[in-house]
Amino acid sequence: MRKVIIGVLAILLLSAPGWAAPFLVCDPQAGVESYIISEEGQPDITTPAEEDGSIKYDMASVAEGTHLWSVKACNAWGCSAPSPFGFTKSLPTGLQNVRIEGA
């Protein structure tokens, strides 16, 4: 029994990266050093670019609701024009028809 529990725990720990939150991403962008994410009424978020110049921003902490962000790519010379990005974060609704069925 102990081996089974250890095996299950090992599988769960190894698969944990698959449970990561959604990420805001883009294609590689040559020369980009950072990104600025803006939403009206919220402080700007500056995040460094990945090695290939793309963005990979973890959206786990984003509040539930509808959002309209603008994202700018930046380097030492300045930033691009903002690119709008709208999305809605919502949780699933309650379960329906939960029951036990026979084999």
Neighbour-count burial for 21-41, b at 16+ CB within 10 Å, e otherwise: eeebebeebeebeebbbeeee
Determine the pLDDT at residue 21: 77
CA-CA distance, 60 to 18, in Å (whole number)? 14
Kindly report the pTM of this predicted structure.
0.71
Residue pLDDT tens, the chain, 103 long: 555 455 444 454 444 455 567 999 999 999 999 999 999 989 999 999 999 999 999 999 899 999 999 999 999 999 999 999 999 998 888 888 888 888 7
Determine the pLDDT at residue 97: 87
- The answer to whether the Cα torsion of 103, 5, 15, 35 is positive or negative is positive
